[in-house]
Amino acid sequence: MISNVSGKILIIEDDSDIAFVLKTMIELDGYTAVTAGNGQIALDLIQSEGPFQLIFLDMQMPIMNGWVFAETFYKLYGHTVPIVVMTAAADSKHRAKEVDANDCLAKPFEIPEFQAMVQKYLSVKSV
């Protein structure tokens, strides 16, 4: 496991249990994680607590969903931070393409898949 890597990850997910597990696992791996229950809260957090090195994005959320968040985020910051879409849609890759995301995790996924995704984007940064 790569240690002493400073990685700050934003998890945008309206299901508090999923957000809780992801945050716990990230922290167990030595990174920092912040959770947001919808796109609007996430945009506020980026302003107040940014920058982040990686964003995990759920699609269907109240108040501001994943589509609107991605669009707004790219408009404000460009493609500066990789976004990984977490979706329960039948075709998750299509969904990722739809919002111009870097990658996707098809729900339901397991912790090792999630950890691999974190490694993929944060270890590249750390090289």
Partner 1 sequence: MKMGISRSTVFYVSTLLVVTVTLALGVFGFLNYTEIRNNRIDNLKANLSIQTSQLSIALALPGWNLDNFGVERIIDSFLLDRNISAVVADVGDKEKSIRVRDSNWQVVTSKTIPILINDFTEEKSIIFKNEKIGSVQVYVTPKFIQQELLSIVIRIVFFTLVLDLLLVLLLYFLLSRNVLKPLTEIERYAVAVSSAGAVPNLQMGGYFLTEFRSLTVSIENMVAQLINAKSSAEQTGNIKSQFLDIAAHELKTPVTALTLLVDMANIYVSKGMPLGKPEIERIKKQTNRLKGLLEDLLDVSRMERGFLVLRPVRTDIAALVNESVDDYRSQEPARDFHFTNPGAEVFIDCDPEKINQVLGNLLNNAIHYSPEGSPIEVSLTATPAVVRVSIKDYGPGISKALQEKLFTRFFRVISNESAIYPGLGLGLYISRTIIEKHGGTIGLNSEEGHGSTFYFDLPRAEIKA
Q: With respect to partner 1, which residue has the nearer C-beta, 69 or 114?
A: 114
SS3 content of the chain, % helix, strand, coil (to 5): 45, 20, 35
Closest CA to 9 of 73, 97, 29, 103: 29
Q: With respect to partner 1, which residue has the nearer C-beta, 53 or 65?
A: 65
In the complex, least distance from residue 127 CB atom to partner 1, rounded to whole angstroms: 27
d(CA 71, CA 119): 25
Residues lying near partner 1 in the complex (CB under 8 A):
14-15, 17-18, 20-22, 24-25, 28, 60, 62-63, 65, 88-90, 107-112, 114
Q: With respect to partner 1, which residue has the nearer C-beta, 15 or 49?
A: 15
- With 0-12 / 13-18 / 19 or more C-beta atoms within 10 angstroms meaning exposed / middle / buried, residue 109 is middle
In the complex, least distance from residue 65 CB atom to partner 1, rounded to whole angstroms: 7
